[in-house]
Structure 1
Amino acid sequence: MKLIYVADPMCSWCYGFSKEMAELMEMNPEISLEIVVGGLSAGSNKVLDDAGKRFRLMHWSKVEAISGLPFNREALMAREGFVYDSGPACRALVTAIKMNAGISILKIFRAIQHGFYVDGKDVTSPSELVKILSNTFALEGYPVNGDLILTMFNSEEIKLETENHFKTVKHTFGISSFPALLLEDHGEIKTISAGYMAANMLQEIMNKISNQNDSVLCQKHS
């Protein structure tokens, strides 16, 4: 049994949902988690104007009210010439996954989100992303040279793997909005949530699916 979290580091609802995911994983330490990035605005070259910033702040306010998580509005409004391209942040997470350092990938994902939404870092910048990954690895007792991270980040292998994530989300899962949480059990994938949901509600749905599966197994062996 495995949970599949489909998300984007620069999706504000994913930022709120990641807190719920952390709580859910604490409730289910025996279940593995895979994160697949969706590329919400990957490849965008449009500069975010004031209207675009205010539009995003409207969503941020909704997420803040529901999740209780903080947002650094001032940093976004003050940033000039900012292109809301989530591609680099997605690629940074794929880099971390590929490094397979034995560190919770959700923790790394949340570090990228925290860097953007709380610390006001420009997570479209490879150098900022390398710092976030490097600092997170170090805090978890796995120091990694920043140059190594950057080399992997810029490699064709990681670029291709990131594109594969996007294709999987779009064509295999058929998902176009984030966050989404899927459960894979014996090769069958079921949707737990299509959108933000509290951890206790996610747990209830998982329990129902588990009970249904147990019932089916009992019927097969009766």
Structure 2
Amino acid sequence: MKLVYVFDAYCGWSHGFSETLREVVARHPELPVEVVSGGLFTGPRRVPVREFGYVQDANAKIAGLTGAQFGEAYERLIADGTFVMDSEAAARGVAALRQAAPQRAVELAAAVQHAFYVDGLSLSEAATYRKVADQAGLDAETVVAAFEAPTAQGAAEADFHRAAELGVTGFPTLLAIDGDRVTALAHGHATAHEVDRRLASFTA
């Protein structure tokens, strides 16, 4: 059995779920976790953030419910409304970090979200992944090269295809998969206790 975490680095609810996921992983070190980027802001949804008027209200709700932080640098980044959230670029970055340290994919996905939502760094910039890699003790040059490689787009598209194949339409979604059996442990928000209860039912 394994867990599959489908998220988007530019999804505030995914940012809010990071702490729950960390706790679930800590409670179940025996379960491998596959981290998949979902592709929230691609194609016609790749537009300036001002076109999503609900962002600040949603973030306040996320912070209140989950305790997630939204930093001043992030608020400055999106303040004038021109910033474009590009989930394909973010998925390329997540894939580059995941390739460098597959066993740390959950930790690195959370670090990418921290880079945006707290540090106010664009997930379209190679410098962001250099910083995340450095802080994680990874070879930053290797990560940046993977992010910028011609194959990186294919890695992002493979993630989007995987998410669609799993039938995931909202982020974050945490699944448990055991052979042909699949169950959703969380959609959008859940506590670690709630995830544990659903996991216990699935394995009973």
TM norm structure 1 = 0.83
Q: Establish whether residue 5 from structure 1 lines up as the match of residue 13 from structure 2.
A: no
Which consecutive unaligned segments of at least 5 residues does structure 1 have?
A: 212-222
In the alignment, residue 148 of structure 2 is paired with which amino acid? N
1:56 matched to which residue of 2? 55
Q: Is the 8 A contact 2:38 2:160 kept in 1?
A: yes
Q: Measure the CA separation in 2 of the matches of 1:63 and 1:78.
A: 18
Q: What's the secondary structure of 1:106's corresponding residue?
A: helix
The one-letter code matched in structure 1 to 2:190 is M
2:98 and 2:108 in contact (8 A); partners too = no
- Please state how far the C-alpha of 1:75 moved relative to its aligned partner: 2.2
Deviation of 1:79 (Å):
5.3
Inter-partner Cα distance in structure 1 for 2:46 and 2:201: 44
Partner of 2:146: 152
SS in 1 for 2:54: helix
Q: What's the counterpart of residue 93 of structure 2?
A: 92
Post-superposition shift, 1:195?
Answer: 2.1
Q: Does 1:162 align with 2:156?
A: yes
Matched, 1:200 2:201: no
Consecutive unaligned residues in structure 2, runs of 5 or more: none
Please give the per-residue CA displacement for 1:172-205, whole angstroms capped at 9, x wherever unaligned. 1121210111111134222222221111000000
Tell me the distance in 2 between the aligned counterparts of 1:79 and 1:28. Answer: 42
Relative distance call for 1:104 and 1:46 in structure 2 (3 A) is same
Match in the other structure for 2:82: 81
Larger radius of gyration: 1
| 3-state SS of paired residue (1:71) | coil
> Secondary structure of the equivalent of 2:151?
helix
Whole-angstrom distance in 1 between the partners of 2:111 and 2:201: 32
Deviation for aligned residue 1:119: 1.3
Deviation at 1:35, TM superposition (A): 0.6
Residues 26-73 of structure 1 deviation map (CA, whole Å, 9 limit, x = unaligned)? 111111111111011035542223x63x52111101110011121125
Give the equivalent residue in structure 2 for 1:22: 22
User: For residues 80 and 110 of structure 2, what CA distance do their matches in structure 1 show?
Assistant: 22
Q: Could you tell me how far apart the structure 2 residues matched to 1:77 and 1:162 are?
A: 24
SS at match of 2:176: strand
Structure 2 equivalent of residue 219 of structure 1: none
In the TM superposition, residue 164 of structure 1 has moved relative to its aligned partner by 0.9
Shift of 1:81: 2.9
Distance 1:79 1:149, change over 3 A: farther
Distance (whole Å) between structure 2 residues aligned to residue 133 and residue 85 of structure 1: 20
- Aligned-pair identity in percent equals 26
Where 1:120 maps in the other structure, the secondary structure is: coil
| Contact kept? 2:91, 2:156, Cα under 8 Å | yes
Distance of 1:130 and 1:57 partners within structure 2 = 28
Corresponding residue for residue 33 of structure 2: 33
Supply the AA of the counterpart residue of 2:69: P
* Distance in 2 of aligned mates of 1:152 and 1:33: 21
1:89–1:129 Cα contact (<8 Å) kept: no
